[in-house]
Amino acid sequence: MNAPSTARPPHEPWRAWAPGVRVVVRRLRRDDDGTLLDAPGEPRYTDVLGDLLVVDETGVLVRTRHGDVHVAGADIALGKIVPPAPVRRPRPRPEDRDDDEDDA
């Protein structure tokens, strides 16, 4: 009889990520009580995009525009490091626009 395996799970690239980088993580969708959402016609996965705060044995913590999201390692299907978010430019205020109509 073989002894129980102590080998680590297959390579999980998210374990090598350093906090501070921007990542996108594709994860399984679950409801608030942890039940997998896989109804016919509904997407099975959702993406989490943001700055990586924590990587530990349980998964990752990502700061998104909507708040911090913990993604369990078991739910991570794919993930990668992505470039920093583009700098958002403020929209011009109406009084700052250069309209030729005012000169008429």
Q: 25 and 47 in contact (C-beta within 8 Å)?
A: yes
- Whether 98 is covered by a domain: the verdict is no
Question: Would you state the pLDDT for residue 98?
Answer: 60
| pLDDT averaged per 10 residues, the chain (length 104) | 48 91 95 84 93 96 97 94 90 70 55
Question: Would you state the pLDDT for residue 86?
Answer: 87
- Whether 28 is covered by a domain: the verdict is yes
Number of domains in the chain: 1
- Whether 30 is covered by a domain: the verdict is yes
Give the residue numbers spanning the domain of 41.
Answer: 16-84
- pTM for the model: 0.71
Residues 36-61: tens digit of each pLDDT: 887 888 899 999 999 999 999 999 99
Q: 51 and 20 in contact (C-beta within 8 Å)?
A: yes
Task: Give CA torsion, residues 25, 31, 37, 39, to 10 deg.
Answer: -140
